[in-house]
A = this chain, B = another copy of it.
Amino acid sequence: MKVDHFGFSNMKTFKQRYLLADKHWDKDGGSILFYTGNEGDIVWFCNNTGFMWDVAEEMKAMLVFAEHRYYGESLPFGNNSFQDGRHLNFLTSEQALADFAELIKHLKRTIPGAEDQPVIAIGGSYGGMLAAWFRMKYPHIVVGALAASAPIWQFEDFVPCDMFMKIVTTDFKKSGSNCSVTILRSWDAINRLSSTGSGLQWLAQTLHLCSPLTFEDIPNLKEWIMETWVNLAMVNYPYASNFLQPLPAWPIKVVCQYLINPSVPDSMLIQNIFQALNVYYNYSGQAKCLNISETATKNLGSLGWSYQACTEMVMPFCTSGIDDMFEPHQWNLKKYSDECFKQWGVRPRPSWIITMYGGENIKSHSNIIFSNGDLDPWSGGGVTKDITDTLVAVTIKEGAHHLDLRANNALDPTSVLLARALEIEHMKRWIKDFHDNVRRQP
């Protein structure tokens, strides 16, 4: 794959990884389902996108999972890929979409039978945004896109910056009595305990942290706990699963069992917080201690995403401490930009994504399904109302982050079964339209 699709002076190429399954593919009259890889190892995404495997037979589909550049094994400059801004310069959504376009053209050129088949883009989260944008920018290459939990409006001021954390809070509020209030109180408890050396020591011990705490670590500690609650909101699935971490069914309910009493002394509160955290970090019972520099599976490429968040993917987040269960925190673009410049030597362009892909004004496009679970904090920045007959929103009640993309499960709520059925219906219509159009040509 070309390292730079948008310039000609750099002629370097790299190996881009993709996975292909053709067990159910019908050379004649089949289709191609193309997973627009997001910020992580493609094998992991492949194993967490059971929906595609479940529908392959029905759609006579070839499955393709394309790894996003700078993640997994698709490193444009090998081990040097993250060395500096110059090496990272080709990590953009535009380059990733061009990779997908070139890969599809390559597959159509080289696999007999593939050329005349319709391709559907499927992705979740950032990959869902890519799927939607891919259909918007390359409608000649994909007949439609299933964009699951794709927060395409989580930019600039399209949604209030506190929306995301409000949804997280609601999830906890609904999952157990006093749960969100207990978490809200925990921040001050941490602040008080961390004001002394013995308090810091006690905190580290009680939370079973792998490393001792200094006063300077406290913002990181709180950030880590906050991210844990966010992640739980994302993977609050109705059955035991292992996406970001191995977890029980409805993990927030399990977590909230430890957080029923907000009015206990600080030490008791933190012990309960530990029990709650331990559900997320040690459901398997294997963890010897908790590491505050890790919140999720290592299959996600946090380094690459940190760069993307510092360049194109500028999502303003804030908390009020009133409508949510967190300490108040304003969105400060100047500070954010300075931190990005310090870390990567780049400055974010907060409005670029909207200039490139359109904000709310996307109605001239077609054949995109935007699905969102109402439990998913990312649904706040997603498309949750139909825009036109062919730009449709599918809402999944009791659904967390792209639940619809996961494999069928006996414990799936009816809402996700309906969502998947509707998604399949749309995809089949796109395929039919494609064949009708082909036949109509001379």
A-side residues, CB < 8 A to B, are: 5-11, 85-86, 88-90, 92, 94-95, 98, 101-102, 105, 137-141, 311, 345-347, 349, 351-352, 355-359, 361-367, 437
Contact = CB atoms under 8 A, between A and B. Distances in A.
A343 to B, nearest CB: 12
- Interface of chain A: mostly helix, strand, loop or mixed: loop
Given A7-B92, A8-B85, A363-B437, 4 more contacts: A6-B7, A8-B89, A8-B347, A364-B366
Given A139-B365, A363-B437, A9 B346 contact: yes
A95 B6 contact: yes
12 contacts: A6-B6, A7-B92, A8-B311, A9-B86, A11-B347, A98-B355, A101-B355, A101-B356, A138-B358, A140-B364, A364-B366, A364-B367
B6 A345 contact: no
A431 to B, nearest CB: 15
A6 B95 CA distance: 8
Contacts of A358: 138-141
Q: A90, A351, A358, A364: which has the most chain B beta carbons within 10 Å? A: A364
Contact of A7 (B8, B89, B138, B363): B89
A237 to B, nearest CB: 34
Contact of A9 (B95, B345, B351, B362): B345
A9 B88 contact: yes
* Closest A-B pairs by Cβ, 8 of them: A140-B358, A139-B364, A8-B346, A9-B85, A9-B89, A140-B361, A7-B89, A6-B6
Contacts of A366: 364
Nearest to A345: B9
B139 A137 contact: no
